[in-house]
Structure 1
Amino acid sequence: MQWLQIPLGPLQTNAYLLINDKKECIVFDPGSEGEAFVSYMESQNLKPLAILLTHAHFDHIGAVEEVRNKWSIPVYIHELENDWLESPSLNRSEFFQQGSIKTKKAEHVITEEKTLVIGDFAFTLLFTPGHSPGSVSYYHEPSGIVFAGDTLFAGSIGRTDLPGGNHATLLASIHDKLLTLPEETAVLPGHGPATTIASEMDQNPFLNGF
């Protein structure tokens, strides 16, 4: 399978596509520029099967409706943030002068860690709160990648100063759920370049001594 990183919007939030050899794909965090994002997928003859959200901050959900409506596909999000999709206050768009970004609630609400199967795609759901209370990471073992949202970055970690954030919880999520993955696992973050578990274990200053 192939994955693509597509930065979108003023915050350059990373949307991702995981694509199989049938041109089917899973869409992660379509954050903005919905028309252009849809046009790109059409130009590549892709067939999205679902939208998986790592969390519901405004910069990760801004293009959900365009993608969902174009292909009539379901959205997945953790139960603690399903209400955020409809609320510019909860998803913080109204506080960051981004207008009133909102979308309908998700068709599928994540309530537990499990294996999620969508067509040919299977993901291990990892509950990784801290940046937000309902942050989820999606581990695709066959490809050796984890879609980590704003939990872990190359050389950094997610911010915890927004409502629902907690620094100690974030560090525990990273240590217990992400750093226990194989060291060669590629970490695909919500912003910035991809990294690996090994690189962050060795070089991330926020994780030293944890």
Structure 2
Amino acid sequence: MKVLRIPAGPLETNCYIVIDEDSKETAIIDPGGDEERLTAALEENQAKPKYILLTHGHFDHTGAVVALKNKYKVPVYVTKEDYDLIHFNNNELFYMEDYDGSLKDFITEDTVFELGRNKITCIKTPGHTPGGVCFYVDGMLFSGDTLFYRSIGRTDFYGGDYRTLVNSIKTKLMVLPNNTTVLPGHGEETTIGEEEQYNPFF
């Protein structure tokens, strides 16, 4: 598999373009903005978008969703809890420009996304938001704003809960192999083993 990391949008959120190199089937994870740059990267790699996957519903992870959805005619997946969060929040912090209410392909704990012969699984990790998730494939964890290099997601936004977040990380993520590469929504990559040993929140 080929993974492109493209910081995009007003907060330079890491958007990940995950490409099965045989079929070119592609998942776009957390397109936070700059749809022209994302489109250029997709076309340069002859990618065939199949899904847009959202780790959660905050504006900085969703800014290019509508443009990419309309361009490539692909489904957008989010949890029911965070769909409600997007729908509920109309203040500037969570506002997604041109949001059209069409994000209704809901993720559950059992949802599996196929890219060629690869399977992306969903891990529900509430805490940063009520319906936050991570995506796992081929030894890589796309952690959104759940787990960062030496840090964890904020919980002072609407729907956030510190204890829930820490419990999600300890019970859902720290059980993964130590060599799992963690690809977060902001900042540099890390591994599960490094965070278990050095993250000050554990």
Letter of the structure 1 residue corresponding to residue 7 of structure 2: P
Residues of 2 paired with 1:103 and 1:87: CA distance? 13
Report the equivalent of 1:36: 37
Letter of the structure 1 residue corresponding to residue 112 of structure 2: L
* Number of positions where the alignment pairs a residue of Structure 1 with one of Structure 2: 200
Report the equivalent of 2:128: 131
Question: Residues 24 and 163 of structure 1: is their aligned pair in 2 closer, same or farther, counting only changes over 3 Å?
Answer: same
Pick from 86, 100, 113 the counterpart of residue 109 of structure 2. 113
Residues of 2 paired with 1:65 and 1:36: CA distance? 15
Report the equivalent of 2:74: 73
3-state SS in 2 of match to 1:77: strand
Conserved? CA contact 1:181–1:197, under 8 Å: yes
Residues of 2 paired with 1:105 and 1:99: CA distance? 12
Q: Can you give the 5+ residue segments of structure 2 that lack an aligned partner in the other structure?
A: none
Residues of 2 paired with 1:164 and 1:66: CA distance? 27
Residues of 1 paired with 2:26 and 2:173: CA distance? 24
3-state SS in 1 of match to 2:130: coil
3-state SS in 1 of match to 2:123: strand
Deviations 1:96-147 (A, max 9, x none): 7x7746343324112x31151334231221110000000011111xx20011
Alignment of 1:13 onto 2:8: no
Residues of 2 paired with 1:191 and 1:17: CA distance? 15
Which residues in structure 2 correspond to 1:75-94 (within 5 Å)? Answer: 75-86=76-87, 88-89=89-90, 94=92
Question: Residues 42 and 200 of structure 1: is their aligned pair in 2 closer, same or farther, counting only changes over 3 Å?
Answer: same
Report the equivalent of 1:166: 161
Pick from 175, 193, 199 the counterpart of residue 198 of structure 1. 193
Letter of the structure 1 residue corresponding to residue 14 of structure 2: N
3-state SS in 1 of match to 2:28: strand
Residues of 1 paired with 2:152 and 2:17: CA distance? 22
Conserved? CA contact 1:58–1:101, under 8 Å: no
Conserved? CA contact 2:27–2:115, under 8 Å: no
Q: CA deviation at 1:37?
A: 1.4
Deviations 1:164-186 (A, max 9, x none): 00000000000000000011001
Residues of 2 paired with 1:49 and 1:100: CA distance? 23
Alignment of 1:49 onto 2:50: yes
Conserved? CA contact 1:86–1:105, under 8 Å: no
RMSD: 1.8
Please report the TM-score for the alignment, with normalisation by the length of structure 2. Answer: 0.92
Deviations 1:55-100 (A, max 9, x none): 00000000001111111000110010113344552xx5x147x774
Question: Residues 115 and 10 of structure 1: is their aligned pair in 2 closer, same or farther, counting only changes over 3 Å?
Answer: closer
Residues of 1 paired with 2:174 and 2:7: CA distance? 25
Letter of the structure 1 residue corresponding to residue 59 of structure 2: F
Bigger Cα displacement from structure 2, 99-108 vs 157-166: 99-108
Identity %: 44
